[in-house]
């Protein structure tokens, strides 16, 4: 049994366009000590998958319309609010995209980490503070005793993200979800954050669900990868296999967007944008952006099938004409 198992998850939202399906039969699994990268453009359903797993979907307007999310065998979709609050931080934790919207501006960062520890562990307030300072030191923040007394606005973006990582691992969760953890950080700091996540995973033994649009990060961090598009998983497998032998045109488009000297210095792009979810038709959601699309692609939604050693949802890949 996988540590985290998402099975046929369907999430809907009530909108002015009617009920829209944000996640359409998403299935993912995560083993202990493993890193699974979930990749795709903005609007593909990556963050909704993470928020659903954490039990943070606003309901209403959101609703889990079907499927299961199991953590160590326990179905979180059936858990009470009290049970979810007890699990968040202790058994499953999340690093959000933008620390300034996640950290409280009126409390010091040390206080906030200490409060997270006190919420889930039976320790004194003094011990929680010492643990918070030790965690700041562990995530590479210099002069942790002094920085613990700083407010979020007094820290750089990279240091704030390190604070978020310290808070997330403060109670040694089994699963750590990192949702675009390097958004708005410069390239050097991005590399430092990814190196830190690797070290934290090794030290704490957590399984990591890495949500990103950065295919370079996938090659550096991930054991397995799941590519999402318009609320569905459209390709998944071992990271090296998917990156080296992608079978879906969308995955290949994402890989081609990585800057490379082989491209002669030119930056490539995938034409078009992710379609609005309320306008999805009966066929493949990527068909209008795909150079290989045929009539079958526009009329029938492809299922995930094994093609070339991993799974891909593409008629062309499955039937051999891609």
Distance CA 247, CA 251 (A): 7
Average pLDDT, stretch 17-42? 94
Residue 310 domain flag: no
Per-residue pLDDT at 264: 62
| Conformational region of residue 286, where left means phi above 0, alpha means psi within -120 to 50, and beta covers everything else | alpha
| pLDDT for the residue numbered 133 | 97
The CATH number covering residue 55 comes to 3.40.50.300
Q: What is the pLDDT of residues 255-297, one digit of tens each?
A: 888 776 665 667 788 888 999 998 888 899 999 999 999 999 9
The answer to whether the pTM exceeds 0.75 is: yes
Encode pLDDT of 150-187 as tens digits.
Answer: 999 999 988 998 999 999 989 889 999 999 888 777 88
Q: How many structural domains compose the chain?
A: 1
Say which residues have a Cβ less than 8 Å from residue 308's Cβ, sequence separation at least 6. Answer: 245, 247, 317
Measured distance CA(150)–CA(37) in Å, rounded: 33
94 pLDDT higher than 70: yes
Would residue 74 count as lying in a domain? yes
Summarize the confidence of residues 82-97 as an average pLDDT.
90
pLDDT per residue over 206-225, tens digit each? 899 999 888 888 888 899 99
Task: Please tell me the predicted confidence (pLDDT) of residue 1.
Answer: 73
More confident position, 269 or 76: 76
Instruction: Provide the pLDDT for residue 201.
Output: 87
Residue 318 has a pLDDT of: 84
Q: Contact 8/80 with Cβ under 8 angstroms? A: no
> What pLDDT does residue 262 have?
66
Cα gap 21→63, rounded to integer Å: 10
Residue 308 lies in a domain: no
320 within some domain:
no
pLDDT over 80 at 99, yes or no: no
Contact indicator for 4, 75 with CB cutoff of 8 Å: no
| Structural domain includes residue 270 | no
Mean per-residue pLDDT, 80-106: 89
12 located within any domain: yes
Domain contains 87: yes
Q: What percent of the chain has pLDDT over 70?
A: 98
Instruction: State what percent of residues in the chain have pLDDT above 90.
Output: 66
Residue 180 is predicted with a pLDDT of: 87
Q: Is the pLDDT of residue 114 over 90?
A: yes
Output the average pLDDT for the chain.
91
Full residue range of the structural domain in which residue 87 is found: 4-91+173-229
């Amino acid at each position: 049994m996988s540590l985290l198992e998402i099975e046929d998850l369907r999430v809907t939202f009530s909108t002015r366009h009617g009920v829209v399906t944000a996640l359409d039969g998403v299935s993912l699994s995560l083993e202990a000590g493993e890193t699974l990268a979930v990749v795709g453009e903005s609007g593909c359903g990556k963050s909704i998958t993470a928020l659903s797993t954490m039990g943070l979907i606003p309901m209403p307007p959101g609703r889990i319309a079907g499927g299961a999310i199991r953590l160590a065998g326990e179905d979180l979709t059936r858990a009470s609010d009290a049970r979810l609050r007890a699990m968040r931080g202790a058994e499953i934790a999340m690093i959000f995209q933008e620390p300034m919207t996640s950290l409280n501006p009126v409390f010091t960062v040390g206080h906030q980490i200490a409060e997270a520890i006190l919420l889930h562990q039976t320790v004194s307030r003094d011990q929680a503070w010492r643990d918070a300072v030790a965690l700041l030191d562990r995530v590479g923040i210099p002069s942790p005793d002094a920085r613990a007394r700083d407010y979020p606005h007094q820290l750089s973006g990279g240091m704030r993200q390190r604070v978020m990582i310290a808070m997330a691992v403060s109670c040694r969760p089994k699963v750590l979800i990192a949702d675009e953890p390097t958004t708005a950080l410069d390239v050097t700091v991005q590399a430092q954050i990814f190196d830190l996540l690797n070290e934290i995973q090794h030290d704490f033994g957590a399984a990591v669900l890495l949500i990103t649009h950065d295919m370079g990060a996938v090659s550096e961090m991930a054991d397995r990868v799941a590519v999402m598009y318009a609320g569905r998983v459209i390709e998944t497998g071992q990271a090296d296999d998917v990156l080296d032998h992608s079978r879906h045109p969308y995955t290949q488009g994402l890989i081609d967007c990585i800057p490379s000297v082989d491209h002669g210095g030119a930056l490539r792009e995938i034409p078009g944008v992710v379609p609005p979810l309320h306008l999805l038709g009966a066929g493949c959601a990527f068909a209008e952006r795909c150079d290989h699309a045929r009539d079958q692609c526009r009329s029938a939604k492809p299922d995930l099938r094994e093609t070339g050693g991993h799974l891909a949802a593409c008629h062309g890949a499955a039937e051999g004409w891609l």
